[in-house]
A and B are shown apart, each in its own frame.
Chain A
Amino acid sequence: MLEIHDLHAQIEGKEILKGINLTVKPGEVHAIMGPNGSGKSTLASVLAGNPAFTVTGGSVTFYGKDLLAMSPEDRSHEGLFLSFQYPVEIPGVSMVNFMRAAINEKRKYYGQEPLSASDFLKLMREKRSIVELDNKLASRSVNEGFSGGEKKRNEIFQMAMLEPRLSILDETDSGLDIDALRTVAGGVNKLKTADNATIVITHYQRLLDYIKPDFVHVLYKGRIVKTDGPQLALVLEEKGYDWIKQEFDSLKG
């Protein structure tokens, strides 16, 4: 579904991604790990279409379409979802209005009528239960005053509402205690099907105990320098990243 070929991207003239290659097929779970500043979040941002980044080379196709030519909203309509590392607070915009706009714009994209108010609220209720999101939060402004855990739950709730084909979870585990982590990971697993795929960006093995990856990639200095099965995450947990850095840097040197 997703083909990333030699992707280069920069922000404010500084090159962060220096030739990413990655293929994701339906039903797969990919973990992307790597030390701080390696470009993990940049990759997520670029795939979602963050205008702060400039793509300077390479290509990304999503179900055969040129992803980079699409607006962020069309990427969403086509089935791409980004769970933010730092979900944005939007004071004054209620969760209900926010979600209704999102759902109805997607329906419009596919030539469908807007959802009726009662069907919409039913859908909200149903999806909320997946991550045990409190009804009170659903009636508040988007993420405003939410705790760290609530924000992450809210991300997975939105993912449940939008039913993406490819979800990118950007450090969804950061700032979560073990109970919240279990709930959030449980939500992600409930949404897993043979037709959708997940890219999990994380620093730690911890999340991968709950969301089992098929592949683990290590991103370092803007490139994927190592790819292996789930056991790679365990090795990283034990040995850290230094051995990979040395391997890569000596190769280059």
Chain B
Amino acid sequence: MSSSIQQYIDIYKQFGARIDTASSPVFNALRPAALAALEGRRMPVKGDENYEVSDLEAIYAPDYGINIDRLAATADTDEPFRCDVPNLSTSLYYVFNDTYPHAQQKLPGGVVVTSMNDATYHEIVSRHYGTIAPADNPQVALNTLLAQDGMLVYIPAGVVVERPIQLVNLLRANSPLMTNRRMLIIVETGAQAKMLVCDHTQSADTDFLNTQVVEIIVGENATFDYYDLEEASERTHRVSSLWVRQAAGSNVLVNGITLMNGTTRNDYHIDIDGQHAETSLLGMAIANNTQHIDNHTYIGHNVGYCHSNELFKYVLDDDATGAFTGKILVAAGSPRTEAYQSNRNICASSRAKMYTKPQLEIYTDDVKCGHGATVGQLDQDAMFYMQTRGISCQEARTLLMQAFMSDIIDGVRLEALRDRLRHLVEKRFAGTLAQCRNCTASQSCHTRIKKK
């Protein structure tokens, strides 16, 4: 059986020593197990459970270059980044392809943000690396086999980080490139932090495959916000998975925003392991042309007395495809669980396709759970109402689509980022999605005049 994985196994078998030389022993230690998990397997294809519309085999199949010798990347930091957030002061780090910066100094309170290859923090990385993401998941295993660098974010117990930590991931290359990114985030007991990760592609004409595995450990009574913003290119393929373990009394917000992409598969997997924890999982996707966005989410209520709230919204135009899977598992012996999930979608063209699969599995009595999913079009009554006030069909569409996303934006717990997102979403809709075909090609925005 031919599998897209084989070429990566071959690369590892041929260049394993060179891969190891350029990365931390912590990364190297897990490679043999990752190799064992991959041998004889293939990536999921369309139709496999949990991959109903995403063909990972096809995503991994092309021949991408890998920077195994860690040649210095030459990204252009002078280019004004679209994720520049005015009025938001962040501790800002640039990541070029998959090479991470080594911190020159600690942040206040002993907070560490540095490359996982930084030998100073070898001990803490080795203690947690690979402990959250499941080693037998083929996406995770392949990333583990090839990843050579990543970002460590460590917030010591009780430290409240006022300044959000911002990572700007940049893809830049002249020939097709695969990057394998890794993150390990540890938020200890009682600590608080917010993080913004922006994915950008600077070389719009190059094909990229960007794989990423993010592991997040949130301690008791800790609070952590993670904003995951993709504003890449139409030739960027992203396979990302984020794995969270939440301890008792913790409060976690994950907001996954896809503003511009090519093909994206995101897994957001949150396990709640301690009582009285709160989880918000939000997401927004805007796609047109032939863009593809598949968000697969899982929230595991493994203990009782926790509250989770999940909301994902999509606006799809042209031939775009969206998929959402939302699985909530309430394990046996998890009383007083409250879990709500909602997925709302607008297909702005007749060719756009949305697949949604809400799943609730409940093995405990005395819980409050709800889920709902809708797929619809823009409200025609509202469109007409606005037009009678002189607002053009195009502008009315933009206003309505923006309004549709407003509760996701309102869920952002950073005011400056909220304002910025509102602006970015407006620009996104005004720029590409509001090409009001209805106003020009067809006459559906006009009174149809049919003479006898």
User: A residues within 8 Å of B by Cβ?
Assistant: 46, 48-57, 68-69, 71-73, 75-77, 81-82, 84, 87-93, 97-99, 101-103, 105-106, 109, 141, 158, 162
Q: Which of B390, B399, B447 contacts A73 (CB 8 A)?
A: B390
Q: Assess A50 versus B384: contact at CB under 8 Å? Given A55-B447, A56-B450, A106-B390.
A: yes
Inter-subunit contact B448/A162 (CB<8 Å): no
Q: Which of B380, B390, B406 has the most CB of A within 10 A?
A: B390
Closest CB of chain A to B10's CB: distance in Å?
Answer: 52
How many angstroms between the C-alpha atoms of A125 and B427 in the bound complex?
A: 29
Inter-subunit contact A71/B393 (CB<8 Å): yes
Q: Assess A82 versus B388: contact at CB under 8 Å? Given A46-B447, A101-B395.
A: yes
User: B residues within 8 Å of A by Cβ?
Assistant: 379-382, 384-393, 395, 399-400, 402-404, 406-407, 439, 443-452
Closest CB of chain A to B35's CB: distance in Å?
Answer: 50
Closest CB of chain B to A157's CB: distance in Å?
Answer: 11
Neighbouring B residues of A81 by C-beta, 8 Å:
388
How many angstroms between the C-alpha atoms of A162 and B387 in the bound complex?
A: 13
Neighbouring B residues of A158 by C-beta, 8 Å:
389
Q: Which of B384, B395, B447 contacts A54 (CB 8 A)?
A: B447
What DSSP secondary structure best describes chain B's contact surface? helix
Inter-subunit contact B448/A51 (CB<8 Å): yes
Inter-subunit contact A87/B385 (CB<8 Å): yes
Inter-subunit contact A92/B402 (CB<8 Å): yes
Q: 4 extra interchain contacts, Cβ-Cβ under 8 A, other than A76-B388, A109-B390? A: A72-B447, A73-B393, A98-B399, A106-B390
Sorted nearest first, the 9 A-B pairs with minimum C-beta distance are A92-B403, A76-B390, A72-B387, A88-B385, A102-B389, A92-B406, A93-B403, A49-B447, A106-B390
Neighbouring B residues of A84 by C-beta, 8 Å:
385, 388
Q: Assess A55 versus B390: contact at CB under 8 Å? Given A88-B381, A97-B399, A105-B395.
A: no
How many angstroms between the C-alpha atoms of A165 and B273 in the bound complex?
A: 66
Inter-subunit contact B403/A68 (CB<8 Å): no
Which residue of chain A has its CB nearest to the CB of B384? Answer: A50
Q: Assess A102 versus B391: contact at CB under 8 Å? Given A93-B400, A93-B403.
A: yes
Which residue of chain A has its CB nearest to the CB of B451? Answer: A57
Neighbouring A residues of B388 by C-beta, 8 Å:
48-49, 72-73, 75-76, 81-82, 84
Which residue of chain B has its CB nearest to the CB of A46? Answer: B447
Inter-subunit contact B395/A76 (CB<8 Å): no
Inter-subunit contact A69/B400 (CB<8 Å): no
Q: Assess A51 versus B447: contact at CB under 8 Å? Given A56-B452, A72-B388.
A: yes
Q: Which of A93, A106, A109 contacts B399 (CB 8 A)?
A: A93
How many angstroms between the C-alpha atoms of A49 and B393 in the bound complex?
A: 12
Q: Which of A50, A53, A73 has the most CB of B within 10 A?
A: A73
How many angstroms between the C-alpha atoms of A101 and B452 in the bound complex?
A: 37
How many angstroms between the C-alpha atoms of A56 and B451 in the bound complex?
A: 5
Which residue of chain B has its CB nearest to the CB of A10? Answer: B450
User: Can you list 24 residue pairs at the A/B interface with Cβ under 8 Å?
Assistant: A46-B447, A48-B384, A49-B384, A50-B384, A51-B444, A55-B447, A55-B449, A57-B451, A71-B392, A72-B387, A72-B388, A73-B388, A73-B391, A76-B390, A77-B390, A84-B388, A90-B400, A92-B402, A92-B406, A93-B382, A98-B389, A98-B399, A101-B386, A102-B386
Closest CB of chain B to A132's CB: distance in Å?
Answer: 21
Neighbouring A residues of B395 by C-beta, 8 Å:
101, 105
Closest CB of chain B to A16's CB: distance in Å?
Answer: 13
Neighbouring B residues of A88 by C-beta, 8 Å:
379, 381-382, 384-385
Inter-subunit contact B389/A162 (CB<8 Å): yes
Neighbouring A residues of B391 by C-beta, 8 Å:
73, 98, 101-102, 105
Closest CB of chain A to B177's CB: distance in Å?
Answer: 39
Q: Assess A49 versus B446: contact at CB under 8 Å? Given A71-B439, A76-B387, A92-B403.
A: yes
How many angstroms between the C-alpha atoms of A88 and B384 in the bound complex?
A: 9
Which residue of chain B has its CB nearest to the CB of A80? Answer: B388
Which residue of chain B has its CB nearest to the CB of A53? Answer: B447
Neighbouring A residues of B379 by C-beta, 8 Å:
88, 90
How many angstroms between the C-alpha atoms of A68 and B406 in the bound complex?
A: 35
Q: Which of A71, A98, A162 contacts B446 (CB 8 A)?
A: A71
How many angstroms between the C-alpha atoms of A158 and B389 in the bound complex?
A: 8
Neighbouring B residues of A91 by C-beta, 8 Å:
403
Closest CB of chain B to A94's CB: distance in Å?
Answer: 9
Inter-subunit contact A68/B448 (CB<8 Å): no
Which residue of chain A has its CB nearest to the CB of B439? Answer: A71
How many angstroms between the C-alpha atoms of A50 and B382 in the bound complex?
A: 11
Neighbouring A residues of B382 by C-beta, 8 Å:
88-90, 93
Neighbouring B residues of A46 by C-beta, 8 Å:
447
How many angstroms between the C-alpha atoms of A65 and B58 in the bound complex?
A: 57
Closest CB of chain A to B382's CB: distance in Å?
Answer: 5
Q: Which of A72, A92, A97, A106 contacts B384 (CB 8 A)?
A: A72
Neighbouring A residues of B390 by C-beta, 8 Å:
73, 76-77, 102-103, 105-106, 109, 162
Which residue of chain B has its CB nearest to the CB of A143? Answer: B385
Closest CB of chain B to A176's CB: distance in Å?
Answer: 20
How many angstroms between the C-alpha atoms of A200 and B240 in the bound complex?
A: 60
How many angstroms between the C-alpha atoms of A52 and B399 in the bound complex?
A: 21
How many angstroms between the C-alpha atoms of A53 and B446 in the bound complex?
A: 10
How many angstroms between the C-alpha atoms of A82 and B402 in the bound complex?
A: 25
Inter-subunit contact B387/A73 (CB<8 Å): yes
Closest CB of chain A to B392's CB: distance in Å?
Answer: 5
Which residue of chain B has its CB nearest to the CB of A9? Answer: B447
Inter-subunit contact A72/B399 (CB<8 Å): no
Inter-subunit contact B451/A51 (CB<8 Å): no
Which residue of chain B has its CB nearest to the CB of A91? Answer: B403
Inter-subunit contact A51/B385 (CB<8 Å): no
Which residue of chain B has its CB nearest to the CB of A100? Answer: B391
Which residue of chain B has its CB nearest to the CB of A158? Answer: B389
Closest CB of chain A to B391's CB: distance in Å?
Answer: 5
Neighbouring A residues of B385 by C-beta, 8 Å:
84, 87-88, 90
Q: Assess A57 versus B452: contact at CB under 8 Å? Given A71-B439, A71-B446, A105-B392.
A: yes
